[in-house]
Structure 1
Amino acid sequence: MLALLTLVMLGLLAGCIQVPASSQEQIRTLNVSGSGKVYVVPDIAYIYVGVRTEADDVASALNANNQQAQAIVNLLKERGVAQEDIQTSAFNVYPQQNFGPNGEVLGTKFVVENTVFITARDLSQLGGLLDAVVRAGANNIYGITFDVADREKAESEARRLAIENAKARAQELAQTVGVTLGEVQNVSVYSSGSPIPVYEAKGMGLGGGGSAPIAAGQLIISADANITYLIR
């Protein structure tokens, strides 16, 4: 009887013991990154044009500013700029004191500033357009930003180039270290924000005659890709 109980207890203990399973093979991965760039010629420009007037009283400064700003808007429309491409982006009225050599107040002028945001879609006429708005009364031009109206095709090509670049790097690294690429585990693609100007490019001259020499040059649209492979 004692021998039977001993065998039963040994059997129960054996049933409670778990043999550890063999550890799974460690997953090895290779992470690579790539980049792609596409050069495009701008076909659109954004310009901030300002009118600043000052006078001894607010009404006079405002009246002069309104006349000059309206003359600019009329000119833009005459030159084919659409109404939706002309937008007031800032309007300020403030007093400005004039001081003498000892800090005494000599008088007060009132300043009115009106800034118009223009979208120019015909770059061949951009130089002449800028000359014309200055003659119409603009006394501030806050810079020109070139862009591409439809970036979709260029952005798609930049993403494709970034992925191809990452794949080529993965194959090169795998061959160098003596491993074989397996399935793709993860893909991430990041497009750039605004196009980047190519400052060293000569670009294309715009305008003619006595127009301001404006060169649009080229823009870079870029993308980055990150790919993770299983390796064996």
Structure 2
Amino acid sequence: MKTRWTLLIIVVLAASLLAACAGTAPAANQPIRQINVTGTGKVYVVPDIAYIYIGVRSQADDVATALGQNNRQAQAIADTLQRQGIAAEDIQTTAFNVYPMQEYNQDGTPSKITYVVENTVFVKVRELQKLGEILNAVVEGGANTINGISFDVADRAAAEAEARRLAVEDAKAKANEIAGLAGVTLGALQNINVYSSGGPMPVYEAKGGMAASSSVPIAAGQLVIQADANLSYEIK
């Protein structure tokens, strides 16, 4: 009889222990409550480099004539760029095309085939105050296509670092603000991601300095370098 009572007590204790474990298990698996915020940092800089695509397009009744014309114009442009102080390493050929062009009469019937030669170079201008003068000079030297003028900063490292710092500070401020509004307390930082939002972007409303009045008017304006930060905090 005594043995039966002992076994019964053991079974009851074991069942109680299992029930207690089952009752506390879900709490251990509960997800951590978090606040997720995104911050943005922007730094405005004045560009000191310009990029230009300068090209020559020639058209003639035969390939040899079109090619000869194009070569002479391209060489004249190269000489002009050198006289303007553009280093050889800042001039790069990006496209050279030769193709036939079908021409038509006014009634839509084919008339003849001519040949087109295109030569395009990518030019980096490091003296922005001379940009308008350079554009004038290459057009006078024979360039008949100029595309994609864009601006950049030679050394972005300091501006990018400052943009990242501002992004993190902005995210931290937002997290504290949201926690205060919600009546909770921030815990440990759980996760952080900081990334750049691409290259410098132009600020279109900015008023940049203009080139000399005798040259092509160019406004460099300002560029904005942006970074974003995603932060996740535990809620205590």
Q: TM-score, normalised by structure 1?
A: 0.93
Deviations, residues 100-138 of structure 1 (Å, cap 9, x unaligned): 122222111110000110011110100000000111110
Task: Report what 1:220 is aligned to.
Answer: 224
Task: Report what 2:126 is aligned to.
Answer: 121
Q: CA deviation at 1:50?
A: 0.9
Task: Report what 2:110 is aligned to.
Answer: 105
Moved >6 Å (runs of 4+): none
Q: CA deviation at 1:74?
A: 1.5
Q: CA deviation at 1:143?
A: 2.4
- Asked if 1:168 corresponds to 2:173, the answer is yes
The more displaced of 77-86 and 52-61 is 77-86
Separation (CA, whole Å) in 2 of partners of 1:95 and 1:167: 61
Separation (CA, whole Å) in 1 of partners of 2:145 and 2:152: 21
Task: Report what 1:74 is aligned to.
Answer: 79
Q: CA deviation at 1:5?
A: 4.4
Q: Which amino acid aligns with 2:101?
A: Q
| Candidates 164, 186, 194, aligned match of 1:189 | 194
SS at match of 2:20: coil
Residues 27-66 of structure 1 aligned to structure 2 (within 5 Å): 27-66=32-71
Separation (CA, whole Å) in 1 of partners of 2:98 and 2:230: 51
Q: Which amino acid aligns with 1:47?
A: I
Alignment gaps of 5+ in structure 1: none
Deviations, residues 63-107 of structure 1 (Å, cap 9, x unaligned): 110111111111111221111110110011011111112222211
Separation (CA, whole Å) in 2 of partners of 1:28 and 1:95: 67
Select the structure that is richer in helix: 2
Separation (CA, whole Å) in 2 of partners of 1:219 and 1:121: 16
Q: Which amino acid aligns with 2:5?
A: L
Q: CA deviation at 1:182?
A: 1.4
Q: CA deviation at 1:47?
A: 0.3
RMSD across aligned positions (CA): 1.6
Task: Report what 1:20 is aligned to.
Answer: 20
Q: Which amino acid aligns with 1:85?
A: D
Separation (CA, whole Å) in 2 of partners of 1:170 and 1:185: 13
Structure 1 54/26 Cα, relative in aligned 2: closer, same or farther at 3 Å?
closer
The more displaced of 212-221 and 195-204 is 195-204
Q: CA deviation at 1:19?
A: 3.6
Separation (CA, whole Å) in 1 of partners of 2:215 and 2:20: 84
Separation (CA, whole Å) in 1 of partners of 2:164 and 2:94: 34
**How many residues align structurally?**
229
Q: Which amino acid aligns with 1:58?
A: V
Separation (CA, whole Å) in 2 of partners of 1:26 and 1:81: 61
Task: Report what 2:4 is aligned to.
Answer: 6
Identity %, equivalent residues: 56
Task: Report what 2:183 is aligned to.
Answer: 178
Q: Which amino acid aligns with 1:116?
A: V
